[in-house]
Amino acid sequence: MATTTPSFKDLLVNPNLLLAFGFGSGLAPKAPGTFGTIAAIPLYFLIAQFSLPVYFLIVLASFAVGVYLCGYASKYMGVHDHGGIVWDEFVGLWIALFAAPAGVQWVVLGFVLFRIFDIAKPWPINWLDKKVAGGFGIMIDDVLAGLFALLVLQGVAFFI
């Protein structure tokens, strides 16, 4: 168990850390959550090509894997929800962009909405963030932030 942030070299030899740290994006010295969310965008463009049921299954599987990855990384570092653990941001963004209209502007709006909800943590996101532990706890607040962003994004798309 390490008590410091792993190096990029550590990530390269440990696939669990590589994924938990968003392929290295979580190592950003400032705003690792934002950099992790940015790193999720290219993968979004890959999975967005699938049908909605397949997209949903990919996100669901990514959540399940994320519970393990985030719990693993948290135990590895001895820190609950270390800022560099960003797999939860990947999944949260993919939830926010579920069934998003085509176009880069929708991805940008989804990104901004997700970051607002993830950073501001309105109730009940803040409650979950404080009360739920382990890998599930690390993931669930971002899932809810993604759902809030999804609702707003779909509302904007509906009324435009």
- Per the structure, the count of domains in the chain is 1
Q: Is residue 2 part of a domain?
A: no
Evaluate whether residue 1 is within a structural domain. Answer: no
- Say if 3 falls within a structural domain: no
Higher pLDDT, 1 or 137: 137
Enclosing domain of residue 84: 8-159
Taking phi over 0 as left and psi of -120 to 50 as alpha, with beta for the rest, 67 belongs to alpha
pLDDT (0 to 100) of residue 81? 83
The residue with tokens 């990919």 is 58
**pLDDT beyond 80 at 74:** yes
Span 27-36, pLDDT tens digits: 999 999 999 9
Give domain status of residue 70, yes or no: yes
Q: Is residue 59 part of a domain?
A: yes
CB neighbours (10 Å) of residue 118?
25
Does 43 reside within a domain? Answer: yes
Task: State yes or no: pLDDT of 41 exceeds 60.
Answer: yes
pLDDT tens column, 100-126: 999 999 999 999 999 999 999 999 999
Q: Give the residue-averaged pLDDT of 118-138.
A: 93
In this structure, is residue 50 part of a structural domain? Answer: yes
pTM of full prediction above 0.85: yes
Assigned domain for 149 exists: yes
